Amino acid sequence: MGQVMVPLKGELPKIADVVIVGGGIVGVSTAFFCSRAGLKTVVVERREALGSLTTASSTECFRAQFESAENIELMLGSIEIFSHFDEMTGIRDADISLRQQGYLYLTTESQQAEIYGEIVETQHKAGLTDVELLSGDEARARFPYLSPQIVAARYRGGDGWLSVHEVLYGFVKGSQAEFLLQTAAIGIALDTEGVAAVETDRGTIETRRVVVAAGPFSRRVARLAGVELPLTLLRRHRLAVLRCDLVPRRAPLTIDDDTGVHWRPEGAGALIAKAFEEEPEEPKEVVPRDWSFPAMVLDPQSPCSAGRVSPFWNRATNLLNKSNLDLCAGQYTYTPDHMPIIGPCSGVAGLFLNTGYSGHGMMGGPEGGRRLVQLIVGKTSDSDNPFSFERFLGPRAVLEPKERIL
Ligand SMILES: Cc1cc2nc3c(=O)[nH]c(=O)nc-3n(C[C@H](O)[C@H](O)[C@H](O)COP(=O)(O)OP(=O)(O)OC[C@H]3O[C@@H](n4cnc5c(N)ncnc54)[C@H](O)[C@@H]3O)c2cc1C
């Protein structure tokens, strides 16, 4: 069982096979697989608790419905891990609150309906044959709460959501790693062989391998080893409606693809989110909330109201007040192509990257961690790795998004 502790004087491990910087879902998943591979694994986390920065603001959804074959495969790997979580971690009857109620993309634009046909065809060709293309009427027959304006939908029933808290602590319990809280990485020492140690604010841990899994702070941590990462940070909000009896409990994650607003049932209410265009920003420990967000997604007069495709929200809005709402904000860590960086960092032997999930780290982190460890122990090669850092280097560097972000 993994050990979570605030190391007192003299308790900091002096040496490790691998030190992971960052105790969010990405760092903790990586620690689980490192420890299962027999490596003495230490995670350093600056905050008072694991999973308390970006991971805590996630809407906790997962999907295989991506447009690139690489991301589809990555997410199917994670979904496999979620589906067999107790076997994988060895925790009997582990309950991660897995709900496979589907992801439903909707459009009211006929031009977009044509694009839906192309997207679903691409997904089928990539092996994701269980994505359904629905007409507006077919979608309404299946999900009667939808607006008459909808002209097309894409749906996959195996997508859904879960409890990221349970997944994260399941990985902790199933590992033999040490998780050091209130311990910040402040330096990465290099010698002629590459990485030599991680310097923390509690002392030095000698190691030949470091994993940068510091979420929005990854750029700063990689700079400790002299490496510049192409990461951009954008603020994102998540609104919890604590109680709303009008929300259909069996609804899928319902996405207005024309505006980006999406919601799903949660407890006695729902979670609502949207990626608004914001200016890139610096990493933040506390991401300030914009209290105009609830009005943007709930006011029936707003052009991006959730009621646009799910009209019951227009009635629900009259029943809601601030005490029924809980708003939080976090930062998406983007790469230029909106796909994660998972793998070694050429130029600095022993430096590994697991970051840049571009809004998909809760769902991609577990399989990303598994793949990174295969690279670390030499079971796979970076030349076959679609998430290699190499794709951002040199004159042929990838600079265009390959995925849309929700
Ligand atoms: C509103 C919102 C909704 C989202 N919804 C979803 C969703 O539905 N599905 C999905 O897959 N993804 C979602 N995401 C994205 C997802 O939350 C992130 O991709 C994921 O949590 C990233 O995990 P992480 O471990 O990389 O980063 P984090 O959770 O941010 O963890 C990084 C950790 O590194 C630590 N750290 C940083 N610097 C140091 C240092 N020097 N020393 C020690 N520790 C350090 C930090 O304290 C932090 O705990 C959402 C994000 C937001 C903001």
Contact 332/234 with Cβ under 8 angstroms?
yes
Q: Please check the confidence at residue 406 and state whether its pLDDT lies above 80.
A: no
The pLDDT tens digits for 135-169 are 999 999 999 999 999 999 999 999 999 999 999 99
Burial of residue 17, with CB atoms counted within 10 A of its CB: 0-12 exposed, 13-18 middle, 19 or more buried: middle
Lowest mean pLDDT among 182-186, 242-246, 278-282: 278-282
% of the chain beyond a pLDDT of 90: 93
Confidence (pLDDT) at 405: 76
Whether residue 26 has its Cβ less than 6 Å from ligand 1:
yes
Closest ligand 1 atom, CA of 362?
Answer: 11
Burial of residue 292, with CB atoms counted within 10 A of its CB: 0-12 exposed, 13-18 middle, 19 or more buried: exposed
Q: 267 to each of 93, 96, 115, 159, how far by Cα in Å?
A: 21, 14, 34, 18
Q: 313 to each of 61, 114, 151, 154, 266, how far by Cα in Å?
A: 21, 27, 19, 21, 15
Whether residue 39 has its Cβ less than 6 Å from ligand 1:
no
Mean model confidence pLDDT for the chain: 96
% of the chain beyond a pLDDT of 70: 100
Contact 103/155 with Cβ under 8 angstroms?
yes
Confidence (pLDDT) at 175: 98
Lowest mean pLDDT among 74-83, 277-286, 379-388: 277-286
- Decide which of 320 and 344 is more confident: 344
Whether residue 45 has its Cβ less than 6 Å from ligand 1:
yes
For residue 259, name the pLDDT band (cuts at 50, 70, 90): very high
For residue 190, name the pLDDT band (cuts at 50, 70, 90): very high
Contact 335/230 with Cβ under 8 angstroms?
yes
The pLDDT tens digits for 214-242 are 999 999 999 999 999 999 999 999 999 99
Nearest CA to ligand 1 atom 12: 360
Alpha-carbon distance of 12 to 183, in angstroms, equals 9
Q: Please check the confidence at residue 395 and state whether its pLDDT lies above 90.
A: no
Whether residue 205 has its Cβ less than 6 Å from ligand 1:
no
Confidence (pLDDT) at 217: 98
Model-level pTM? 0.98
Q: What are phi and psi of 143, to 5 degrees?
A: -130, 85
The Cβ of residue 318 has, within 10 Å, a number of other Cβ atoms equal to: 7
Mutation pick for ligand 1 pocket among 50, 53, 169 (CB with most ligand atoms within 8 Å): 53
Mutation pick for ligand 1 pocket among 55, 179, 204 (CB with most ligand atoms within 8 Å): 55
For residue 53, name the pLDDT band (cuts at 50, 70, 90): very high
Alpha-carbon distance of 123 to 67, in angstroms, equals 6
Q: Which of 24, 375, 27 is nearest to 212 (CA)?
A: 27
Two structure tokens written together for 222? 């990689």
* CA within 13 Å, CB half, 91: 19
Two structure tokens written together for 290? 């914009």
Q: What are phi and psi of 82, to 5 degrees?
A: -60, -40
